[in-house]
Chain A
């Protein structure tokens, strides 16, 4: 690579540069999930090490803790990488850091959409938007939207979809 990569515009994220990020609450919700899973082996190993006075077990307990820290970093990177942009005719959604993906969905192709909020998501004040089209390989999902933003986006998408409905 003769040219420094940083000076080139990123070809994968072209014209629309005004990406709208999703709420960082999504990262916090995912942290909670991953930590509660990792807490079980950590606490078990640590407790066993303390009770039976095996220092090795305490060292083992630090492994899931380290994994938790690593996951926390990965999750926050991933969540920060999710973004969307409402173009005049299409919705752009990008995600991923190592495995990057950019999806372009014309509004007129929208068949229907779901807004879902689970109990955990509700606690964190986020909702997920799932867009359905007739196409395969275009399962557009947008997690981590604040509920009113999700509702607004849904309204706009439906309105634009109806205005530009082009069948198939």
Chain B
């Protein structure tokens, strides 16, 4: 009998929803969930997830089951038709049983999966109490997880395609520590509820720990005036409006037109690499076809293409529809094609900023802005850390004004021009000595750093221009390294430690004296800025 994929093939997915973990100890679970909930008299009541959660979690499994059911039904029908031909000699009754058994087994399986999913939903809950978010999950293996609000670094509202279809969203909370397992995901909630919980979390964590820089900013009223000026300077709003409820008191900063996003990705290193792969692959194909070793070449080239295309596709899916709004405590960015993500990037959580420009963007004067935020561990960092996927320098300035106002004071303008476009020691830059060319033949021309009262500015990259900014109070530590060749040329590399993220502030091949001075002075500046708040 033609049973298409056996149910066991997908059973693990349905049997154990992603977050639950394998239930090794088969403890009887049921009523304790309620007891535990009743027993927690001190805390706030547990809040449930949306009832559709199990359906969304298991939708792949359910789809698979539906497909199997449909197939077996069709098979059964076909058999029945065959059977009708054979009915004359009693074949009808013999054809029936396997089909019935299969359907029965299938429905039992579906019921079991559904039952487990409902049970899992039933025992899952979260609450915000005593300065912490707490979440409990697990039918067999119970798990409770607490995240202190003063450790909360980021709150993102994420809406995968399936969740969007039914108006739901999930909340992703990032905490300091940066490990891949240090966050919490609350899925799924109604969109409005998710937004409300996010507001609540942000408000509570904000009041608990008044960001030093935000108070400093409040004192500098003139800076906010600058924001307005920056905003009026931004003219090219795309037609992509905000997705899903504007934040309160938010000022729209920019929206990136889809065409520009597309062009920027096509002009980025990955896409150029992809084209190079295609071209060289075509050449290889012709050559190897002549040699008769076609298959392995096809496999190798195809593999490369597949990988490169996947990266580009992921980036496009994430960066299309990108828009940003300035709010009282930072910037809210919204982006995504199928999966909508709404991130609140808070001013006091910014650890480092990088403004970069790939070679092929130069002609259009486009820049990209990425940030290090402690909450986004290593996973998905690449896409979540983007606050401006592609934009003019005016847009860069407006984002920086909203995120780190102290870094773009009016008097910093010359420094910024030198940092983005310049080279050489003008405008307060300390640069790499000429002898660094032996170790870095191109990069040394632009390498340098400048110091503002609020941050260290690192300039580097001759082809891909990069400007990395680390606020002094965010200096996590400093290290200086010197290898044997550097020692011979009296050079040394300085690295400013930042949290996990795309921005790795590093100055390779400075003069060894400059490196020593930077190390000493930066330690002092970091100390002063930490102490002054």
Contacts and interface: CB of A to CB of B under 8 A. Distances in A.
B250 interface: no
B484 A138 contact: no
Interface centre among B178, B482, B498 (most CB of A within 10 A): B482
A140 B356 CA distance: 30
B530 A108 contact: yes
Contact of A98 (B153, B483, B490, B517): B483
A101 B484 contact: no
Contact of A100 (B482, B500, B519): B482
A47 interface: no
Contacts of B495: 137
A33 B512 CA distance: 35
Given A90-B527, A105-B477, A138-B497, A11 B484 contact: no
B217 interface: no
A134 B479 contact: no
Kindly state the interface size class of chain B when it binds its partner: 35 or more
Interface residues of A, number: 30
Contacts of B526: 106
B477 A1 contact: no
B252 to A, nearest CB: 29
A103 B523 CA distance: 11
A15 B520 contact: yes
B351 A168 contact: yes
B487 interface: yes
Nearest to B506: A137
Given A104-B478, A106-B530, A136 B150 contact: no
A14 B519 contact: yes
B180 to A, nearest CB: 13
Contacts of A101: 479-482
Interface in B480-518: 480-484, 487, 490, 492, 495, 497-500, 504, 512-513, 515-517
Nearest to B495: A137
Contacts of A98: 483-484, 487
Interface of B: 150, 153, 176-178, 209, 349, 351, 374, 473-484, 487, 490, 492, 495, 497-500, 504, 512-513, 515-517, 519-520, 523, 526-527, 530
Given A108-B530, A167-B150, 17 more contacts: A11-B516, A15-B520, A98-B484, A99-B484, A100-B481, A100-B487, A101-B481, A103-B479, A104-B479, A106-B476, A106-B477, A106-B523, A106-B526, A134-B476, A135-B498, A168-B351, A168-B474
Interface of A: 1, 11-12, 14-15, 89-90, 98-106, 108-109, 111, 133-138, 140, 164, 166-168
